[in-house]
Amino acid sequence: MSKFPEHIAIEKSHPTAVLDWHDRFGDRTLIVDGKQIVDVITLLRDSFGYNMLVDLTAVDYFPRRPRFEVVYHFLNVDSHARLRVKVQLEESHPHIASIISLYPIADWLEREAWDMFGIKFDGHTNMKRLLLYESFEGHPLRKDYPKTKRQPLIGPQN
């Protein structure tokens, strides 16, 4: 299995950024150090033409450690190349830098990951619930979220 061009370029400019990678089934995936995510994504956008953030989501692997992964899906609109970038986060500090400055659509996607998983995106200027109401307690896509949990009642806001 040989490294793909994006992987080689990232290793040259940010030698400690790529923690792991694979291209199984044609799915090119980089697992990146979260502290360097903005630098890596900037390089992918500016040098490799990944000009579309298709999706940003999260996965809860409870009880595995690290517990969370933030998963970015990128597309180069001209060449139709796709790339997946993953960042693993510990349960004790589920924070990662926001990429809104690179891809404005990340605004809603990061808010959704916050709402459902409780992952905070540092530098996000409007980190509030997107799908649930503000007084909702917890993050329902976490695997340890109790399915019978009662939520505060809300009524019309006058």
Q: What distance, in Å, lies between the first and last C-alpha atoms of the chain?
A: 61
Which of 56, 34, 59, 57 minimizes the C-alpha distance to 142? Answer: 59
Average of per-residue pLDDT across 130-142: 90
pLDDT value, residue 157: 63
Listed range (56-65, 79-88, 130-139) with the worst mean pLDDT = 130-139
pLDDT value, residue 4: 81
Q: What pLDDT, in 10s, does the model give residues 35-46?
A: 999 999 999 999
pLDDT value, residue 7: 83
Query: The pTM is what?
Result: 0.91
The residues, ordered by sequence, that sit 6+ positions from 9 with a Cβ below 8 Å of its Cβ are 43, 47, 48
**Cβ(68)–Cβ(13) below 8 Å:** no
C-alpha–C-alpha distance, residues 14 and 34, integer Å: 12
Instruction: Copy the structure tokens of residue 59.
Output: 């996965």
The kind and range of the H/E element at 86 are strand 82-89
**Cβ(87)–Cβ(57) below 8 Å:** no
pLDDT value, residue 1: 59
Q: What pLDDT, in 10s, does the model give residues 85-132?
A: 999 999 999 999 999 999 999 999 999 999 999 999 999 999 999 998
pLDDT value, residue 158: 60
User: What structural domains does the chain harbor?
Assistant: 5-122 (3.30.460.80)
**Cβ(30)–Cβ(86) below 8 Å:** yes
As a whole number, the mean pLDDT across the chain is: 92
Instruction: Copy the structure tokens of residue 35.
Output: 């502290």
Residue type, 37: I
C-alpha–C-alpha distance, residues 136 and 1, integer Å: 46
